[in-house]
Amino acid sequence: MTVSLSSSRWMARLRGLGGAAFSLAVTLLGLLFVTFIISRVVPIDPVIAIVGERASEAQIEAARVALGLDKPLWQQFFIFVGNALQGDLGTSIRTGEPVIQAVARAFPATLELATLATILGVIAGVPAGVLAATRPGSLADHFVRLVGLMGYSMPVFWLGLIGLLLFYGVLGWVGGPGRLDAAFDMFYEFEVTPYTGMILIDTALAGRWDMFVNAISHIILPAGLLGYVSMAYISRMTRSFMMNELGQEYITTARVKGMPEWRVIWVHAMRNVMVPLITVIALSYAYLLEGSVLTETIFAWPGLGSYITDALLVNDMPAVLGGTVVVGVAFVVLNLVSDLLYRLVDPRAR
């Protein structure tokens, strides 16, 4: 009987893994399909972008054959999928460099910025949401909601410009645009091994604490602004989830039994709040990975958003679509991770 139960559990887990793998494959295939369709409907001829408008008909036709654009659409799609699965996202028209190499160089900067911003958003947003939920209608509740509303309402690019003007231009508390001062940036590639591409980690591993502190001074303002936007969303959702849990019968029972209020909130209620909150944090993180284009532009941050924007301005569609695929894959992976964490936090989901 025990063996039968054990085998049935393993079969259920295998079916769950198989279903998750199938869902992941279908999602990625759909992402590639949408990206492929976009590349074909935009009013930009990749052949003309490569050979130029003054090229002869023979040169244009030769380039079209070389790119495989003379084949039927369904065949072009399968070639596109096959290349993408092998890590080939095309070649940049602007630089002639494989897109995957440029993306691999730019993505760590965005990952570093979004990760730090998400950490700041969680550290500030979760306690603020809990505070507002436990004191509904109070001054603290109104303040948290007002701060969250401002985070939703004010444009990020405006906050970035004001932040640069005040904290860098007037007060001099933070570093300016870019990831490092020019004096450090000149020697960074020679003195620091780029293990991860994230300056904070690489400089710490290299023991270059002066460069680490300088990198902190540059990232703290853009990460703080994005963290504020993330905090506004996380605090609002935390407040909503917590207020819903505090009205449940098991919370009333715990209070009647004389359990300390901090334990009722941070142990019993938070355990159930964490289930939907994980999804909220994952979505906020994914949004920062793809939605920090304006912030990266204002702060001259050489991340994926800046790379896609620069490519779009010169009609470099392979670079734009390659970056879009990477952003989509990041969304899919984060959703998968949040689903796994959801199962770990909530035993009922197992």
Q: Are residues 168 and 43 in the same domain?
A: no
Total domains present in the chain: 2
Dihedral sign from CA coordinates of 34, 37, 41, 45 = positive
Other residues' Cβ atoms within 10 Å of the Cβ of residue 208: 19
**Residue 279: how many other CB atoms lie within 10 Å:** 16
Are 283 and 310 in a shared domain? yes
Same domain for 138 and 38: no
Q: Do 43 and 128 fall within a single domain?
A: no
Q: Does 94 reside within a domain?
A: no
For residue 280, is it within any domain? yes
Q: How many helices (H) and strands (E) does the chain have?
A: 16, 0
* Residue 138 and residue 56 share a domain: no
- Running DSSP on this structure, what letter comes out for residue 42? S
Q: What is the mean pLDDT of each run of 10 residues along the chain (350 residues)?
A: 56 63 75 75 64 65 66 75 78 79 86 91 91 87 87 80 85 82 73 81 85 88 90 90 84 81 82 84 82 77 82 77 81 77 65
CB 322, CB 99: distance < 8 Å: yes
pLDDT score recorded for residue 120: 92
Question: What gap in Å lies between CA 146 and CA 139, rounded to an integer?
Answer: 10
The distance from CA 148 to its chain's CA centroid, rounded to whole angstroms, is 20
Residue 76 lies in a domain: yes
Co-location of 106 and 80 in the same domain: no
Q: Which residue has the tokens 């730090």?
A: 116
289, 311, 346, 347: which is closest to 109 by C-alpha?
289
CB 332 within 8 A of CB 28: yes
What CATH number corresponds to the domain at position 264? 1.10.3720.10
Choosing from 85, 120, 140, the residue where a domain stops is 85
32, part of any domain: yes
324 and 249 co-located in one domain:
yes
pTM summary value: 0.81
Does the CA dihedral 278-279-282-284 come out positive or negative?
A: negative
**Is residue 90 a part of any domain in this protein?**
no
Q: Are residues 260 and 116 in the same domain?
A: yes
Q: Do 115 and 246 belong to one domain?
A: yes
Last residue of a domain, which of 20, 51, 85? Answer: 85
Whether 92 maps to a domain, the answer reads no
Radius of gyration of the chain (CA): 25
Boundary-marking domain end, from 60, 85, 110: 85
Same domain? For 20 and 103 the reply is no
The pLDDT score that the predictor gives to residue 91 is 77
Same domain? 14 vs 148: no
- CA neighbor of 221 nearest in space, from 159, 265, 280: 159
Do 37 and 107 share a domain, yes or no?
no
- Which of 194, 186, 113 lies closest to 156, judged by CA? 113
Domain hosting residue 201, numbered range: 99-349
Give the tens place of pLDDT for each residue, 259-310. 888 888 888 888 888 888 888 888 888 888 776 777 888 888 888 888 888 8
